[in-house]
């Protein structure tokens, strides 16, 4: 299956799926990539201020790492191309309509949207409706 680049097709085809676990973003000052691999982060990013880790909340709590918010992860189950234009903007704009913050991580096959855990059901509903609206456009 090849990655999709057409925005309307991406939006119509995405099947947002709410993951069960809760996640947090932690920053570890002076740490370098590979540090804290034992915590099994689902993602990490090296910044000049330190190493950002995206971890399950329970793992961060056990490691006594600080974080500012708790997030739910919604996976957009469509094989989006890394060269696709507009998917992140469309998802962010839709969630903006409802005042929901979105932190998007693009991985090789899928995009993952982190939203405040208290608004997860609302965000999932909004993204599902966005897909439904675009499915109607591509069907006509």
Q: What is the CB neighbour count within 10 angstroms for residue 79? A: 16
Is the confidence at residue 134, as pLDDT, over 90? no
Collect all residues with Cβ–Cβ distance below 8 Å to 130 and sequence separation of at least 6: 11, 14, 90, 91, 94
DSSP designation for 44: E
Mind listing the pLDDT tens digit for each residue in 35-58?
899 999 999 999 999 999 999 999
Is the confidence at residue 109, as pLDDT, over 70? yes
Give the start-to-end residue ranges of the domains of the chain. 7-139
Domain 7-139 indexed as CATH 3.20.20.150: no
Lowest mean pLDDT among 19-23, 32-36, 47-51, 101-105: 32-36
Mind listing the pLDDT tens digit for each residue in 61-91?
999 999 999 999 999 988 888 888 889 999 9
């Amino acid at each position: 299956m090849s990655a999709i680049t057409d925005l309307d097709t991406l939006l119509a085809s995405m099947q947002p799926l709410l993951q069960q676990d809760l996640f947090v973003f932690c920053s570890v000052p002076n740490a370098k990539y590979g540090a804290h691999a034992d915590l099994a982060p689902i993602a990490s990013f090296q910044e000049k201020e330190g190493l950002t880790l995206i971890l399950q909340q329970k793992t961060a709590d056990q490691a006594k790492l600080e974080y500012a918010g708790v997030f739910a992860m919604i996976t957009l189950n469509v094989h989006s191309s890394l060269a696709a234009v507009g998917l992140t903007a469309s998802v962010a704009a839709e969630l903006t309509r409802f005042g929901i913050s979105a932190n998007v991580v693009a991985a090789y096959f899928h995009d993952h949207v982190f939203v405040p855990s208290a608004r997860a059901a609302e965000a999932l509903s909004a993204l599902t409706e966005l897909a439904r609206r675009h499915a109607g456009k591509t069907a006509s």
